[in-house]
Amino acid sequence: MRTRHGEFERIRSVLENVDPDEPLTAREILEVLEEHGEDFDSAHRVATVLGRREETGDVEVIREQPYRYEFVDDNN
């Protein structure tokens, strides 16, 4: 399944405005998105979108239980 256009940008935009202090789980990200009026199917969908962007270097996936996601800062 291909990532629907704009899903990554929607996630990133909300999280940049919230600026979390630490990496978040997909479920935590889903909760933040819902609080900001963004509709996503599930935490699994959030994880899928962010996991695919790890390949391009936009997201770091921290492989613990549960997985956590953090955006890579281009200014480093």
Question: Does 1 reside within a domain?
Answer: no
Q: What is the spatial distance between Cα 20 and Cα 31, in angstroms, rounded to a whole number?
A: 13
Structure-block tokens of residue 67: 């997985």
Task: Confirm whether 61 is domain-assigned.
Answer: yes
Domain count of the fold of the chain = 1
- Model-level pTM? 0.87
Amino acid in position 18: V
Note down the domain range covering 42. Answer: 7-71
Read off the pLDDT of residues 1-55 as tens digits, 9 standing for 90 and up.
Answer: 455 669 999 999 999 999 899 999 999 999 999 999 999 999 999 999 999 999 9
> Is residue 62 domain-resident?
yes
Give pLDDT, residue 76: 43
Find where tokens 């899903």 sit: 7
Q: What is the CATH number of the domain that holds 62?
A: 1.10.10
